[in-house]
Amino acid sequence: MPSGCGRAGANGAEPMLRRIDALSCRNALRPLPPLWKSLFTAVMFILSYMVHPALQLIICLWMMYWCTHHARIPRRAYGLLFGTALFFFALSLPPLLVELGRPADGEAILHLPLSGQLQLYITAEGLCRAGLLLTRVMACLSCSLFLILTTPFGELLQVLHRLRLPQIVLELMLVMYRFLFLLSDTAHGLLLARRLRGGGRRITLRETAGMGGALLAGTMRRYRGFAQGLAVRGYTGEIALPPAEPRVLPRGLALRAGAGILLLLLAQLWLLQA
Amino acid sequence: MDACMAFEDVVYHYPDAAGPALNHLTVSVPKGLKTAVLGHNGSGKSTFFLHAVGVLRPQHGRVLLEGAALGYSRKELAALRRSVGLVLQDPEQQLILGTPLEDASFGLRAAGMNEGDIRSRCMEVLEQLGLADLRDQPIHQLSLGQKKRVSLAGVLAMRPELILLDEPTSYLDPLSEVQLLTGLDIARSQGATLVMATHDMNLAYRWADWIIVLDHGACRIAGRPDEIFAAGGTRLPAGLAMPLLADIWYSLPRQYISGRPAPRDSEQMIQRLAELLAENSTPGHSGGNMKSEEEEQD
């Protein structure tokens, strides 16, 4: 790979971790103070838990607008991340929706007789519960994505440092985050080597075990190298994080955020009274 | 010649290895020069460097910096790593923070420098290495050449007296190699002593003022490049080839090249050969040292 042509964007199958990292560094809301973005997210997160499901959907759409319009995150990338996270919610739907047993009269809106009186059935209550959970998940997810996609990890650590999270926890988070990329590179190298040596789409159990072992060995080697690198760089038992740079919050954005929160609160009050 | 760093009878044996990585190694690194450490795989180059920065401790013998034996207390090691910087072969091993600017500042912040000075010094180094535009890019998204320069920036920002580089040009394309060597020239101009381990004999011949050849953990030979290569490949351990320019130059008949400094790069080689041709083709030239071997036999 020639110099200047970084890994990002070098191929279409860019790992999601790298994609998030790249977006968080190259979005239009990056220059905003990370503490403000964190506080805004925290407020929206709390609202997502408290407000009416209809407002939760509005929160979701509003936070999406912040990401795709204000932060200029590509819609496709955002949709992919949002959809992937929702896929995990979809996986948890069967236990939420489907019940096994004998439903009371009129309780089941859909049912599948099994044997005797035993049935698989879905109730209106289960459907409602899943729907409520979905709106809450969507609202919370959009809030999380706003912070993750607009603020680089290093700046989030600065916020946590300012909130007086213990230094050891921050160091662990920093090293773990750095190590995720090393792990991802090692795994990527192993998979590439397998493909280049004629490995097909199907991976046998033996191959998986072999690759798992190689991944562990490679990761341990990288861990030792990283520890050595820390010592060489003058690590004295504490990784001093760079301080947060002073940044200006544009008044227009602050007003929009404040107005939006106020409207949500008023709408919630109105819905409670109605 | 003053020694910046010296190894005296140093022995180091890795727990799971068959033989010693350093085998009674006694060698000096001359102060203020550019030194190349050559040797085949497993000759002890990386172990030599890890001893120089105190990551490994000799099991026998001692390592001296500016004539004083290294101490291994936490405080002494911190001071050592401020005056001796090591650029590891794999940049991933020593890049710690998220962006080039943050990473370059790591050592300075650990040393307790104030933030204003840290920023100005890091920006200066990043500009010297052509990384200023990438200062806020995530490290993970840089190419290998850029990562190597960022890891060098972290060391240069500390302004150490001695800079050790473990195969810094491996896997680099020619442009990245030139950018990295330019950074080293800047450090050299600021008075740093440079030591580079490399397999690239041509680079070592072109770049170094002093060469140390390691073989099985011991110093096989040390000296100026022309002293080492003048005898052809006979003084080199098996597996190390002669640099191309030296090979050509020292293959010429002795009477042609005696008294002339050996060319260190292709431009100098062309110049020397042009001089030889010009002298040889001068009408009425008495011959002197330009006589052909045939004439000599006559």
Q: Nearest 5°: phi and psi at B87?
A: -100, 115
Residue-range domain boundaries for chain B: 3-240, 252-283+290-297
CA B117 to chain centre: 29
Residue written as token pair 């955002």:
A78
Number of domains in chain A: 2
Q: Which residues of B209-230 are buried (b: 16+ CB within 10 A; e: fewer)?
A: ebbbbbbbbbbbbbeebeebbb
Q: Across the interface, do A240 and B138 touch by the CB < 8 Å criterion?
A: no
- pLDDT at A11 (0 to 100): 42
Number of Cβ within a 10 Å radius of residue B26: 13
Closest CA relative to residue A160, chosen from A42, A266, A46? A42
Does residue A198 sit within a domain? yes
pLDDT digits (tens, 9 = 90+) for A166-212: 988 998 898 888 888 888 888 888 888 887 877 777 778 888 888 88
User: What's the rounded Cα separation, in Å, for the pair A186 and A251?
Assistant: 45
Q: Which of A233, A236, A245 to mutate to test the interface with B (most CBs of B within 10 A)?
A: A233
CB contact under 8 A, B53 and A232: yes
In this prediction, residue B285 carries a pLDDT of 53
Same domain, A74 and A153: yes
Q: Of residues A144 and A21, which shows the higher confidence score?
A: A144
Which residues is B212 bridged to in the sheet?
Answer: B37, B222
A151 and A24 in a common domain: yes
Smallest CA–CA distance from B165 into chain A, residue: A232
For residues B10 and B12, give the distance between their C-alpha atoms in angstroms, rounded to a whole number. Answer: 7
Residue of A nearest to B82 (CA): A234
Closest to B125 in 3D by CA, of B84, B194, B166, B184: B184
Q: Would you say residue A82 lies in a domain?
A: yes
Asked if residue A188 and residue A236 are part of one domain, the reply reads: yes
pLDDT over 90 percentage in chain A: 43
The more confident residue out of A39 and A113 is A39
Q: How confident is the model at residue A221 (pLDDT cuts 50, 70, 90)?
A: confident
Residue B284: the pLDDT is 55
Residues of A with Cβ-Cβ distance to B138 under 8 angstroms: 21-22, 25, 152
Residues A71 and A182 in one domain: no
Residue A173 lies in a domain: yes
The residue assigned the tokens 């109105």 is A270
Site of tokens 């997502």? A48
Q: Give the one of A152, A228, A235 whose C-beta lies nearest to B93's C-beta.
A: A228
Instruction: Point out which residues pair with B62 in neighbouring strands.
Output: B8
Residues A2 and A62 in one domain: yes
**Which residues from B are below 8 Å from A154, CB to CB?**
97-99, 102
Interface of A with B in 214-253 (CB under 8 A): 222, 225-226, 228-236, 238-243
Residue A99 falls inside a structural domain: no
Q: Which long-range contacts (CB under 8 A, 24 or more apart) does B19-26 make?
A: B19/B216, B19/B217, B20/B217, B21/B47, B21/B217, B22/B47, B22/B48, B22/B51, B22/B58, B22/B217, B22/B218, B23/B216, B23/B217, B23/B218, B24/B60, B24/B61, B24/B218, B25/B61, B25/B214, B25/B217, B25/B218, B25/B219, B26/B61, B26/B219
Helix residue ranges per DSSP H, chain A? 16-25, 34-50, 53-65, 75-91, 93-97, 124-150, 153-162, 167-196, 205-232, 251-273
Taking the C-alpha atoms of residue A91 and residue A89, their distance in angstroms, rounded to an integer, is: 5
- Structural contact between residues B47 and B13, judged by C-beta atoms closer than 8 angstroms: no
For tokens 């004295």, the residue is: A236
| CB nearest B138 (choices: A21, A234, A238) | A21
Q: For chain B, how big is the Rg over CA atoms in Å?
A: 22
Say whether both A194 and A62 belong to one domain. no
Q: Give pLDDT tens digits for A7-59.
A: 444 344 457 888 898 899 889 999 999 999 999 999 999 999 999 999 999 99
**Shared-domain flag, residues A274 and A176:** no
Are A6 and B110 within 8 A, CB to CB? no
* Nearest residue in chain B measured CA to CA from A231: B55
pLDDT along chain B (298 residues), means of 10: 91 90 94 92 91 93 94 89 90 86 88 88 91 87 88 92 91 84 88 92 91 91 86 72 87 81 86 85 54 45
* Residue A141 confidence (pLDDT): 96
- Say which of B81, B137, B143 has its CB closest to residue A5: B143
Q: Domain of A256?
A: 1-92+133-165+248-274
List chain A residues with CB under 8 Å of B143. 1-7
So what's the pLDDT on residue B61? 95
Q: Does residue A52 share a domain with residue A7?
A: yes
**Residue B265: CA atoms inside 13 Å, Cβ hemisphere, count?**
5
Cβ-defined contact of A225 to B140 (cutoff 8 Å): no
Closest-CA residue of B relative to A235 is B110
> Which residues does B153 contact at the CB level (< 8 Å), separation at least 6?
B100, B103, B104, B122, B125, B126, B129, B131, B183
Whether residue B241 contacts residue B201, with contact meaning beta carbons closer than 8 Å, is answered with: yes
Residues of A in contact with B90 (CB under 8 A): 225
Are residues A1 and A77 located together in one domain of the fold?
yes
Residue A78 has pLDDT above 70, yes or no: yes
CATH classification (class only), B3-240 = alpha beta
Q: What is the pLDDT of residue B292?
A: 46
User: DSSP labels for A181-229?
Assistant: HHHHHHHHHHHHHHHHTT--S---HHHHHHHHHHHHHHHHHHHHHHHHH
Residues A211 and A264 in one domain: no
This prediction has a pTM of: 0.77
How far apart CA B206 and CA B229 sit, in angstroms, is 12
Mean pLDDT of all residues in A117-128:
87
Query: Chain A contacts of B78, Cβ < 8 Å?
Result: 234, 236
pLDDT of residue B294: 45
Measured distance between the N- and C-terminal CA atoms of chain A, rounded to whole angstroms: 63
Answer yes or no: do B55 and A25 touch at CB < 8 A.
no
Q: Are A150 and A269 part of one and the same domain?
A: yes
Per-residue pLDDT band for A2 (boundaries 50, 70, 90) equals very low
Q: Are residues A176 and A256 in the same domain?
A: no
* CB of A95 less than 8 A from some CB of B: no
A5 touches chain B (CB under 8 A): yes
User: Distance, in angstroms, between B52 CA and closest chain A CA?
Assistant: 10
**Residues A211, A189: Cα–Cα separation, whole Å:** 11
Inter-chain CB proximity A242 and B105 less than 8 Å: yes
Residues of chain A contacting residue B145, judged by C-beta atoms under 8 Å apart: 3-4
Q: Strand B34-38 vs strand A108-115: parallel, antiparallel, or unpaired?
A: unpaired
Domain assignment present for A103: no
Q: Rounded CA gap, B160 and A190, in Å?
A: 38
Which three-class secondary structure state does DSSP give residue B31?
A: coil
Chain A positions touching B102 (Cβ under 8 A) are 154, 242
Are residues A228 and B158, on separate chains, in Cβ contact within 8 Å? Answer: no
pLDDT of res. A14: 59
Higher pLDDT, A205 or A73: A73
Whether residue B218 contacts residue B39, with contact meaning beta carbons closer than 8 Å, is answered with no
Classify residue A120: in a domain, yes or no.
Answer: no
